[in-house]
Structure 1
Amino acid sequence: MTTTEERPHFVSLGMFIIDEFEYLDEDATFPCYWLATRLTICDVPIQIGGGGTYASIGARIWLPAKNVGMIIDRGVDFPQWIQERLDSYGPSMWLFRDHADRVTTRALNSYRGDLRGFRYLVPRIRITPRDLAGTPLARPTTLHFICSPSRALEIISEVREESDWNPITIYEPIPDRCVPEELPALRQVLPAVSILSPNAEEALALLSMPSDVSRSTVEEAALKFLEYGVGKDGEGSVIIRSGALGAYVTNRHERGQWIPAFWSDNPEKVVDVTGAGNAFLGGLGAGLLLAKKNVYEAALYATVSASFIIEQEGLPRISSDRWNDDSPQRRLEHLQEKMRH
């Protein structure tokens, strides 16, 4: 049996994806592709993608590589530059499963004006708690998963198969299944979820609320989720990630609190928000350890993690303990000071 000391703290069941891109004009003509060669008519590289990848990096910003992990299904086409980039964060955090009969999971992101489309180009390989058994990632203290409410029920069922494993569970509903039809399944799984964290649009869609995102509508949605009973005996928390508005954090015992977006006073620093929500939840998982399970303090760590993701396209750079040539601890202290005033 894996002892508590040997367990990783944060493991994501999210996937690793190689992202390709297609840009269309308003009439859906003249596409520009980012292809596997890394060179296109736009001369722009493919990107490392996947919610699990970004969540793991969000946790890695705060924790040693040995305390963070995820499974990566590595196909025959896996680019060397991606391998080197992942290794720069600490090789021990990635558990590779090699596949000699298929390529790495890829997805196409299509952009037309402000509209974004997403579709898989390769069949997905889903990761479940059973895949962690017998590996260095077995029985983590915090488990993050991104999926539909229906599949979340299956994940929780597998967690319960392991005796004496009661992880903190951070559930991030997948965007395209945040529909009213999934609400019954969500209500069924909520008692087994420590922290529920949709973004604002997803929360409102699940609850069939008007799509107007404001502080009042977000707070109303969070209250409804609490009433449905998040966590064992209703002891869980709801965090609704709301972009430039920040994140709303609440539970049954403390007054809800808004955590401001880190770059709210400096919006020109925001280059690409892709993966920011995933990284937020990875940072949250790390923060729960470092802040001794105080979810409000943990959300400050989460916000700092997201701040490093949105400063560039793709993942942030690491050098020693600095990310993008800055200190996470400095940003945390800045945010803590901001919250005091």
Structure 2
Amino acid sequence: MATRSVATPRPHFVTLGMFIIDELVFLDGQGKPTGRTLPSQIGGGGTYANIGARIWLPPERLGMIVDRGHDFPEHIQEKLDSYGTEMWMYRDDSSRGTTRALIEYKGDYQERFQYLTPRIRLTPRDLIGTPLEQPTTMHFICSPSRAQAIVSEIKEFPGWSPRTIYEPIPFRCIPDELPALREVLLSISIFSPNADEALSLLSMQGTPTKATVEEAAQRFLDMGVGADGKGTVIIRSGAMGAHILTREGGGRWIPAFWGPEDVNKVVSVTGAGNSFLGGLSAGLLLADGDVYKAVLHASVSASFAIEQGGLPALTQKIGDDGSIVELWNGDTPQWRLEGLRARLQ
């Protein structure tokens, strides 16, 4: 991998999430395959988070490590390069295959996730000596105990003090993980489970509602998110939107860009939450650290992720002033951002 020169600025956003090639299978209400499949899709929570940030930022301001095996498909390579080659740091190993997983969906919900090949986990140490070293924001998706190992490793490197965005991995969002979660939350800047994960961790029963989401957010904040007293809890709640809670600003709901009335816009929810958090990181930069404003950027990033199976399409056009304008799924993020701001007013 390449190293960063002294003149190159620190990256703003780096994720430790993995790159995975997904094989998607869709089930009916009885759990039987519908016949609809989406084989060999670009996947991995880190990949979607990186794209969520890329929607707002140039590729040189963000990045992730991609472990590329001997079977790396050419069409996937071309797709990744279309977003900007600077945002992918490749580690090649011809002795192994690229990480793959099988994902089964029942309706909009993930029913089963299974690795088809051994996974390669990333740690902060993997960033040393690369252009991704010392990011201002670091995102990771893992169990609470592994999150503790990550934040401990960050502290080993002088000068490293990134904003940390922690997204718990779904299958470890169980009450048994709560003691480990309490310990690590003191070192986390932003803790963001989705609504089902939040309630599961806290042994709260039933379908999430705004009331139960707000209760869960308060309980997590009371556990001590951010030892400096400036931690944030954001519970991603699908079509209900996202609930943001801080000690200084209190709680606030930000609507999803595509709400319950826009079900025809939702093709696949794969990667929506990851894209949300990548967009959040970019929003924190663009909104001078205002987390409530940053969540608007996050909501827009998620809106592009769910409109198709796989990643959104990036194209370009020439603007009225002669500048190059990026289009995501044929639309501009800024237009959606202004629309969301108007709805809040």
CA shift for structure 1 position 45 = 3.9
CA shift for structure 1 position 275 = 0.3
User: What's the CA shift string for 1:13-71, capped at 9, x where partnerless?
Assistant: 0000000134556776778596xxxxxxxxx5421100000000000000000001000
Q: Does the CA-based 8 Å contact 1:178-1:203 persist in structure 2?
A: yes
Equivalent residue number for residue 99 of structure 1: 93
Q: Does the CA-based 8 Å contact 2:124-2:154 persist in structure 1?
A: yes
In structure 2, do the counterparts of structure 1 residues 30 and 306 end up closer, same or farther at CA, with 3 Å as the change threshold?
closer
Amino acid at match of 2:152: S
Amino acid at match of 2:91: R
User: Is residue 14 from structure 1 mapped to residue 9 from structure 2 by the alignment?
Assistant: no
Gaps of 5+ in 2: 317-325
Between 227-236 and 279-288, the greater mean CA deviation after superposition: 227-236
Counterparts in 2 of 1:1-341, with a 5 A limit? 6-23=9-26, 44-111=38-105, 116-264=111-259, 265-320=261-316, 321-340=326-345
SS of residue in 1 equivalent to 2:302: helix
In structure 2, do the counterparts of structure 1 residues 5 and 110 end up closer, same or farther at CA, with 3 Å as the change threshold?
same
CA shift for structure 1 position 2 = 7.5
Q: Does the CA-based 8 Å contact 1:16-1:52 persist in structure 2?
A: yes
User: What's the CA shift string for 1:277-318, capped at 9, x where partnerless?
Assistant: 000000000000000010000000000000001111110000
Q: Does the CA-based 8 Å contact 2:269-2:306 persist in structure 1?
A: yes
Q: Does the CA-based 8 Å contact 2:18-2:122 persist in structure 1?
A: yes
The separation in 2 between residues aligned to 1:331 and 1:141, in whole angstroms, is: 26
User: What's the CA shift string for 1:82-118, capped at 9, x where partnerless?
Assistant: 0000000000100000011110000011346766211
Amino acid at match of 2:293: E
Amino acid at match of 1:272: S
In structure 2, do the counterparts of structure 1 residues 87 and 255 end up closer, same or farther at CA, with 3 Å as the change threshold?
same
SS of residue in 2 equivalent to 1:46: strand
The separation in 2 between residues aligned to 1:157 and 1:290, in whole angstroms, is: 29
In structure 2, do the counterparts of structure 1 residues 112 and 170 end up closer, same or farther at CA, with 3 Å as the change threshold?
closer
The separation in 1 between residues aligned to 2:8 and 2:85, in whole angstroms, is: 20
Tell me the C-alpha RMSD between the 2 structures: 1.9
SS of residue in 1 equivalent to 2:312: coil
Amino acid at match of 2:264: E
The separation in 2 between residues aligned to 1:29 and 1:150, in whole angstroms, is: 35
SS of residue in 2 equivalent to 1:138: coil
Amino acid at match of 2:139: H
SS of residue in 1 equivalent to 2:64: strand
Identity %: 61
Q: Does the CA-based 8 Å contact 1:15-1:72 persist in structure 2?
A: yes
The separation in 2 between residues aligned to 1:232 and 1:49, in whole angstroms, is: 33
CA shift for structure 1 position 191 = 1.0
Amino acid at match of 1:332: L
Count matched residues: 331
Higher strand share: 2
Amino acid at match of 1:334: G
Amino acid at match of 2:338: E
Q: Does the CA-based 8 Å contact 1:152-1:189 persist in structure 2?
A: yes
Gaps of 5+ in 1: 35-43
The separation in 1 between residues aligned to 2:159 and 2:288, in whole angstroms, is: 21
SS of residue in 1 equivalent to 2:217: helix
Q: Does the CA-based 8 Å contact 1:18-1:46 persist in structure 2?
A: yes
TM-score for the superposition, normalised by structure 1: 0.93
SS of residue in 1 equivalent to 2:228: helix
In structure 2, do the counterparts of structure 1 residues 235 and 84 end up closer, same or farther at CA, with 3 Å as the change threshold?
same
In structure 2, do the counterparts of structure 1 residues 82 and 207 end up closer, same or farther at CA, with 3 Å as the change threshold?
same
Q: Does the CA-based 8 Å contact 2:24-2:39 persist in structure 1?
A: no
TM-score for the superposition, normalised by structure 2: 0.92
SS of residue in 1 equivalent to 2:339: helix
Amino acid at match of 1:135: T
Amino acid at match of 2:296: L
SS of residue in 2 equivalent to 1:209: coil
Q: Does the CA-based 8 Å contact 1:205-1:211 persist in structure 2?
A: no
CA shift for structure 1 position 200 = 0.3
